[in-house]
Amino acid sequence: MQRTDRERKQEQTGVSRISQAFERAQKLRSAALMPYFTLGYPTMESSVEIISAVAEESDLLELGVPFSDPLADGPTIQRSTQQALDNGTTVAGCLQMVAQLRRRGIDTPILLMGYYNPVMAYGEEAYVRDAAAAGADGFIIPDLPLEEAAEMEALADNYGLALVYFLAPTSPEARIAAVARHAKGFIYLVSLTGVTGARAALHADLGDFISRVRRQTTVPLAVGFGISTPEQAAAVGQLADGVIVGSAVINAADAAEDKPAAARQFVKSLQEGLNRR
């Protein structure tokens, strides 16, 4: 189907908006901060309020689309996604929440993080089309490897959105080169082997891992998994272009009565750790 000029303009915004977020952070001599939060948690209404508050202190947003078997996620995100599912959160509902955030004036780039099974059930083309219409800028799909992503990547390209790929410390040079050839927006570097969740310390070889990847690409590199304090965010920010924090944001909201304010204050402390404020 032939698209209008307006639709074509919208198609081009996703990857460029992500790139611009990293460029703005770089001009401030800082890494871009990308908090994660689960759509539909602790309720569908309150998740929009929390994300809206967090967006004010964020460079990008990673928003979780709940799935019953989140294999890459640790106990905090597993718990939040199960609660979101119990609340009746669906893929369509997640896209509606993204659209609601955009109607509120939130213009922070949004990456939808979800597993492939719900995408397949919804329909790849419909998911990409509807995500673009809602205002998303790209996708993070942990269980969709590069070798199986050709159709999804082509659809994302057609709408100007980013399909973000992962690399781990165990990735060989050939794998790094292959991901670098396909990368748009940024590459998600897993800081350690295992699942998401707060850790007491960063992996000792993180700097070497980032250097190995950087030798093969100019695309921004964002590090996630295990980052939970301003000090850890600052340490990663000295090495990478982006810092991703998930479980600790959810924990901050869970511990407070005023969840939006608490989540925002915690993300602000991460920014301060990055010497942004």
Instruction: Name the residues annotated as catalytic.
Output: 62, 73
**Residue recorded with tokens 């955030």:** 101
What order of strands is seen across the sheet that includes strand 32-38? 162-164, 138-140, 110-113, 61-64, 32-38, 242-245, 221-224, 187-190, 166-167
Q: Tokens representing 90?
A: 């669906």
Which strand (E) or helix (H) includes residue 9? Answer: helix 5-11
DSSP state for residue 38 in the 8-state scheme: E
**Residue recorded with tokens 């770089």:** 26
DSSP state for residue 223 in the 8-state scheme: E
CB 136, CB 109: distance < 8 Å: no
User: Count of residues for the chain?
Assistant: 277
How much of the chain is in helix, strand and coil states, percent to nearest 5?
50, 15, 35
